Amino acid sequence: MPSDSVRSETAQQLQVLVGQLEQDNPALYRHWALYLQVLREALLASVQKACFHVSVQTYPERYAKLIPAKRTELHRRMFSLVGRCSSLLTVEQLAVLATQMHGQELQSQRRHQQRWLNSLQEQTEPEPVAPSMPNASMPNGSIHLGLELPIGSGLFGFGSLVRGAVDDPDDAESLDSADEPDEVHDPAGRSAVEGDEAHRLMAAFSQVLEQMGEALEADSSGSMDSSWSGMAAEEASTDATGLPFSGLLPKHPVGVLRWLEGLDAALVRRLRNLSHALNVEMLRLGATPSLLPLNLLDAVGQGQIETQNAPPNLVRMPLPVGERARGPFHDAVAVLLRPVDLELEQPRLRTCRTRLQQSRQQVRRMAQTYRRLERRLQALDAEQLWLHDHTTAHPPTP
């Protein structure tokens, strides 16, 4: 059959693409390892420059009042924090952190989905319906616009939508008698029927949401968890040159692309943790008067909050003085290490980032081709199943 030849050709193209990726994986790993090596070498100088600007140029009076013991401890803690962070700036350690971040994101999505389902269940609880009285102030045929929430038992009970459009009870009764049996005219019975229907629809809706969540979770975590957890659990094999084989990375382009995105997110998180630790130490020793919380640092790093102009690896933000939100403001300056600022200060790091971007563009093109071929292969398999089922259900007539 022509479809069999097309399917075999498509499967062969997928195998060629995977083989090419396995050959490129060691070079991609080498680029990331070199980037992190240069980052570890330049991190201390960047941290010293940022802390110098905060302590000496922004709050010089506070640093001048510190006793020698506290100044010495500040520098000692700065060296210690940078050393601890540098030991965690490796491909394997970032992969482990990326796996943890992905698990936390999935748990947050599950909690958000559960809260949403609970709120829907609370809003669809059946309430006793009081007999409606005719409103003398409104003429017959007027439309009554209620102030109830859009999600409720009326949204699932189709009969209530028709009743809500008519305000006159006589007209409502005529509509009910035309479409529903006589025993549903009772308001209490009608509420019970609508409540049962709402519960059934809510249960079905909850089941659909759970299935969608499981499908999205399986799709998003299948390649990411398998690659990251496998890399964290297994030791990488090495060849004669000491470079790891491609078993360390995912074996298809989509997984490699997500793996790269996870490493970038883990690097940003690691630098943010170091920045927060430095800010805490400077506040504890009295070198700075305020502290920016982690959520503000994350918002600034993601571009969600507009900040004032500041030197690289620093953030300047106006904060209210005291507990009054509308009181006077002062500019709070804090350390925030970001890959973009570090690359701006270090030309070697910027060169390594350029290589990583070129490799990512190549992997992205391979991922697009991989998705297209995989989709075509799935369509061919579904076509064969359809033809088989059609022949089985309708055998040829003699």
Please report the pLDDT score of residue 249 as a whole number: 78
Domain annotation covers residue 142: no
Surface-to-core class of residue 127, CB atoms within 10 Å of its CB (0-12 exposed, 13-18 middle, 19+ buried):
exposed
Per-residue pLDDT reduced to its tens digit, 7-20: 788 888 888 888 88
Domain annotation covers residue 279: yes
Please report the pLDDT score of residue 68 as a whole number: 93
Please report the pLDDT score of residue 318 as a whole number: 82
Q: How far is CA 333 from CA 106, 227, 236, 273, in A?
A: 34, 39, 43, 17
Please report the pLDDT score of residue 158 as a whole number: 38
Per-residue pLDDT reduced to its tens digit, 55-96: 999 999 999 999 999 999 999 999 999 999 999 999 999 999
Split at pLDDT 50, 70, 90, the class of 274 is very high
Please report the pLDDT score of residue 392 as a whole number: 82
Split at pLDDT 50, 70, 90, the class of 233 is very low
**Closest residue by Cα to residue 343 from 359, 325, 355:** 355
Q: Are 292 and 315 in contact (CB under 8 A)?
A: yes
Higher pLDDT, 246 or 293: 293
Surface-to-core class of residue 345, CB atoms within 10 Å of its CB (0-12 exposed, 13-18 middle, 19+ buried):
middle
Please report the pLDDT score of residue 182 as a whole number: 43
> Model's pTM, two decimal places?
0.68
Please report the pLDDT score of residue 317 as a whole number: 85
Please report the pLDDT score of residue 282 as a whole number: 94
Domain count, the chain: 2
Residues 201, 172 share a domain: yes
**Across 200-222, average pLDDT:** 58
Residues 343, 225 share a domain: no
Residues 279, 371 share a domain: yes
Domain with 365, as residue range(s), is 2-88+249-291+339-391
Residues 111, 78 share a domain: no
Higher pLDDT, 118 or 205: 118
Residues 84, 32 share a domain: yes
Higher pLDDT, 396 or 391: 391
Residues 287, 153 share a domain: no
**Across 309-330, average pLDDT:** 74
Residues 198, 156 share a domain: yes
C-beta atoms surrounding 102 within 10 Å: 20
Please report the pLDDT score of residue 143 as a whole number: 60
**Across 168-176, average pLDDT:** 39
In the three-class reduction of DSSP (H, G, I as helix; E, B as strand; rest coil), residue 316 is classed as: strand
Domain annotation covers residue 329: no
Split at pLDDT 50, 70, 90, the class of 284 is very high
Q: Which residues contact 276 (CB under 8 A, 6 or more apart)?
A: 294, 297
Residues 100, 68 share a domain: no
Q: Are 223 and 231 in contact (CB under 8 A)?
A: no
Highest mean pLDDT among 1-5, 37-41, 158-162, 319-323: 37-41
**Across 371-395, average pLDDT:** 83
Q: At residue 324, what are phi and psi to the nearest 5 degrees?
A: -80, 120
Residues 35, 9 share a domain: yes
What is the percent of the chain where pLDDT is above 90?
A: 30
Domain annotation covers residue 309: no
**Closest residue by Cα to residue 243 from 5, 7, 31:** 31
Domain annotation covers residue 46: yes
Please provide the average confidence, as pLDDT, over all residues in the chain. 75
Per-residue pLDDT reduced to its tens digit, 298-307: 888 888 887 8
Please report the pLDDT score of residue 195 as a whole number: 57
